[in-house]
Amino acid sequence: MAEVVIVDHREQAGELAAHAIRSLIEQQPDAVLGLATGSTPLPVYQALARSLEANPLDVSAVRGFALDEYVGLPEGHPESYRAVITREVVEPLGLTPSLVHLPGYNSPAIETAGANYERDITDAGGIDLQILGIGSTGHIGFNEPGSSFASLTRIKTLTEQTRQDNARFFDSIDDVPRHCLTQGLGTILRARHLVLLAFGEGKADAIAAAVEGPLTASQPGSAIQLHPHVTVLVDEAAASKLQNADYYRYTWANRPDWQTI
Ligand code: GLP
């Protein structure tokens, strides 16, 4: 079962996840992080940047693999996930840019991009900690409903709902790409620790389906139920449709002293 932690505000979720990442890097200076984009993980990166500023740690050997990338944006577009990851993660944390990878950049052709990305992740020894957000369609990464639980990195077509959700980052919806490259659900399930974050009422249905719903490709987030080490960090609004919310609160309040996420 996933460990569900219901927090008062998103900064608290950011602090918890940042603490887990920091501990990982302290134990393993060349840790491999799975990096998510979107607005949800920002408190994690901000809390980690604050922690590194207050108490420096050598992160120059840390490696990163982004979950996904748009296909078809002009090179250097500010909303490409390469640009977003550089702006929100690599620069504020001081990571080594050449050690942070996104799908599609290590391949001469789109047809081989997925296989090459899988090879690069495997060669790095796999992802130690994967940060995840969740889309309103229930997608994790860009694995839209119907994605196989065994899927690996590949090209996907975005749903119109996802294009509309992401249009806020672009001048017009016409500028939002129709395709992406995304780690598959199978790729995500190979990471050693999944940390899924969600905030706000708009994510309540997707979180309930992911944590408590039946396992179904129609709700790609439900794939997390197959993973032995998942932490779900949600605010009250995103937790509002969880049937066992009281049990999750009780479990967290009574966790053993030694237990971290
Ligand atoms: C995009 C990303 C997902 C992310 C989702 C939610 O579609 N590919 O990784 O989880 O948006 O975004 P937000 O966190 O901004 O709600």
- Give pLDDT tens digits for 152-207: 999 999 999 999 999 999 999 999 999 999 999 999 999 999 999 999 999 999 99
In the structure, what pLDDT confidence band is assigned to residue 49 with cuts at 50, 70 and 90?
Answer: very high
Task: Judge whether residue 104 has pLDDT over 90.
Answer: yes
Please state, in angstroms and rounded to a whole number, the distance separating the CA atoms of residues 74 and 80: 8
The pTM score is 0.97
**Atom in ligand 1 nearest the alpha carbon of residue 180:** 8
In the structure, what pLDDT confidence band is assigned to residue 136 with cuts at 50, 70 and 90?
Answer: confident
In the structure, what pLDDT confidence band is assigned to residue 259 with cuts at 50, 70 and 90?
Answer: confident
Query: Of 261 and 92, which is predicted with more confidence?
Result: 92
Q: Does the C-beta of 117 come closer than 6 Å to ligand 1?
A: no
Residue 253 in any domain: the answer is no
Please state, in angstroms and rounded to a whole number, the distance separating the CA atoms of residues 173 and 145: 21
Quick one: average pLDDT of 201-215? 97
Please state, in angstroms and rounded to a whole number, the distance separating the CA atoms of residues 206 and 98: 34
Ligand 1 centroid–CA 257 distance in Å is: 33
Residue 242 in any domain: the answer is no
User: Which residues is 179 bridged to in the sheet?
Assistant: 71, 157
Residue 140 in any domain: the answer is yes
Please state, in angstroms and rounded to a whole number, the distance separating the CA atoms of residues 171 and 8: 33
Residue 256 in any domain: the answer is no
Ligand 1 centroid–CA 125 distance in Å is: 26
Average pLDDT score, the chain: 97
Instruction: State the DSSP string of 60-106.
Output: TT-EEEESEEEESPPTT-TTSHHHHHIIIIIHHHT--GGGEE-TTSS
Residue 101 in any domain: the answer is yes
In the structure, what pLDDT confidence band is assigned to residue 108 with cuts at 50, 70 and 90?
Answer: confident
Q: Does the C-beta of 141 come closer than 6 Å to ligand 1?
A: yes
Residue 260 in any domain: the answer is no
Return the percentage of the chain with pLDDT > 70, whole number.
100
Cβ within 8 Å of residue 261, ≥6 positions away: 3, 5, 16, 17, 19, 20, 195, 231, 233
Quick one: average pLDDT of 17-34? 98
3-state secondary structure of 121: helix
Ligand 1 centroid–CA 4 distance in Å is: 19
Q: Looking at the 3D structure of the chain, how many domains does it have?
A: 1
Ligand 1 centroid–CA 99 distance in Å is: 23
Q: Does the C-beta of 134 come closer than 6 Å to ligand 1?
A: yes
| The dihedral formed by the CA atoms of 120, 198, 30 and 124, expressed in degrees to the nearest 10 | -10
In the structure, what pLDDT confidence band is assigned to residue 260 with cuts at 50, 70 and 90?
Answer: confident
Quick one: average pLDDT of 6-15? 98
CATH code of the domain containing 124: 3.40.50.1360
pLDDT value for 1? 67
- 125 Rama class: left (phi>0) / alpha (psi -120 to 50) / beta: left
Residue 243 in any domain: the answer is no
**Atom in ligand 1 nearest the alpha carbon of residue 81:** 8
Residue 258 in any domain: the answer is no
Range of the domain at 40: 3-237
